[in-house]
Amino acid sequence: MRSLSHRARFLALGTAAVLASALVAACGSSSSGSSSSSSKPILIGASLSLTGDFSADGQAFKRGYELWASDVNAHGGLLGRKVQLDILNDNSSPTQVDTNYTDLITVKHVDLTFGPFSSLLTAPSAEVAHRYGYAFIEGAGGSPLVFSEKLPNVFDVALPVANELDPFVNWIKSLPAGQRPATAAYPMANDPFATPQVQRVQSFLQPLGISTVYSKIFPEEVPDYLPNADLVAAKKPQAVILGSTDVPTVASFMHGFEQQHFNPKVFIAAAGPDQGQSFLSAVGTANASGMMVPNAWYPGYANPTSQAMVAEYVAKYGGTASGVNADVAEAYSVGEVTAQAVKATGGTVGSKIIAYLHSGVTLSSVEGPVQFNSLGENIKAIAFIFQWQNGKFVQVLPVGAPGSVKILYPKPNWAS
């Protein structure tokens, strides 16, 4: 009796182990050999966060990659071959993202890799790509952490995070002393994408004589920020530079300010107002007026390829032009840069692409010019500051840059 139950136990255990390894080996053996037939599609692999913390951006990225792929194929493909995307879900998890890229490279034998969303996932997966000699072109890994790895295969087409607010600083500097805000508050979410640029602004504005009345880091993912908003409002700063990473944080602060009947002359947030319709629904179109946000791209950007892309996006996914998320453009640019590198090197060999992209060549994308330094940062990335004006998302800074309109300053009072 006893031996039987033990036997059963081990039978179960052994079966499970065999099943597990068979399962895993089954996907292992489903490899597609990569021959060099020119009619074979170019397989591009990417891992995106379709669920989990980064899902909103991950989904936008997916649409951007897919839009690029369908565009390329509509124009005859790349080097005469069709482009085929293989996008896996990493659920915003670094363990999964490593597994995904290993799978894409070693099992699916993709020809090229596109980056995931977020520096947090880019840092480990870039290592995986590096190990196999793949170029890693990405549009969402711009935090100092990624570049600290000093990997030769990383290429970030987007603007480095810390420099996002430079045009804002320059504008404040350009104002006559009497018109500048006298006081400023710097609330920041505890996130590597919310602190570096805000702290940089503080370091520039303080020497100008703009006194800091509030500068603190608050925790992320708190259901509401009323206490923090109250504290900032109580100090009545003329400028608020908010280190936020999503719409709820900005909306929560805005609601708090409205409830306290506090209206700053200048209100710029690191992220949130760039989320188009999502942002407008959360705060109301009238209240959005005057809110500023940095970005390297926006739907109205006066670039022909960008305009074409926006039109196609709307045709394919609906919505309005002004609702197109900047993530889409970043993803699209990744595709464009990859395509240019592939065409220039005549193939998909990783080492050649890496060498080409590091050669100092300037490429073009829907987000403007792209040129990489030795770390893989895009040193020609343009930084704009955008502002909502009466339901329209317009470029306001740098002052005088093509496409910039007059900035709305001071910010209009809350509508209620």
Site for another protein in 310-339 (CB under 8 A): none
Q: What part of residues 278-317 is at the interface with another protein (CB under 8 A)?
A: 278, 281-282, 284, 287
Interface stretch with another protein, choices 33-41, 259-267, 350-358, 404-412 (CB under 8 A): 259-267
Give residues with Cβ within 8 angstroms of 178, minimum separation 6.
Answer: none
Please report whether residue 16 would count as binding another protein according to CB under 8 A: yes
Q: What is the bridge-based pairing of β-strands 183-189 and 136-138? A: unpaired
**Distance (Å, whole) CA 186 – CA 241:** 5
Beta strands across the sheet bearing 183-189: 211-218, 183-189, 239-242, 266-269, 292-295, 384-389, 392-397
Please report whether residue 410 would count as binding another protein according to CB under 8 A: no
Q: Cis link prior to 402 (omega < 30° from 0)?
A: no
Please report whether residue 259 would count as binding another protein according to CB under 8 A: yes
Q: Closest distance between another protein and the C-beta of residue 287, in Å?
A: 8
Q: Closest distance between another protein and the C-beta of residue 191, in Å?
A: 5
**Distance (Å, whole) CA 285 – CA 308:** 26
Please report whether residue 37 would count as binding another protein according to CB under 8 A: no
Comparison of 110 and 396: residue with beta carbon closer to another protein: 110
**Distance (Å, whole) CA 202 – CA 211:** 9
How many residues lie near another protein (CB under 8 A)? 101
Q: What part of residues 130-169 is at the interface with another protein (CB under 8 A)?
A: 131-132, 143-145, 148-149
Q: Would you give the binding string for another protein spanning residues 173-212, x where CB under 8 A is met?
A: -----------------xxx--x-----------------
Comparison of 275 and 338: residue with beta carbon closer to another protein: 275
Q: Cis link prior to 410 (omega < 30° from 0)?
A: yes
Q: Closest distance between another protein and the C-beta of residue 215, in Å?
A: 11
Comparison of 18 and 401: residue with beta carbon closer to another protein: 18
Please report whether residue 35 would count as binding another protein according to CB under 8 A: no
Give residues with Cβ within 8 angstroms of 189, minimum separation 6.
Answer: 195, 217, 218, 219, 220, 243, 244, 245, 249
What Cα–Cα distance (Å) separates residue 117 from each residue in 142, 294, 319?
A: 10, 19, 23
Q: Closest distance between another protein and the C-beta of residue 11, in Å?
A: 8
Q: Please identify which residue in the block is written with the tokens 């592939």.
A: 342
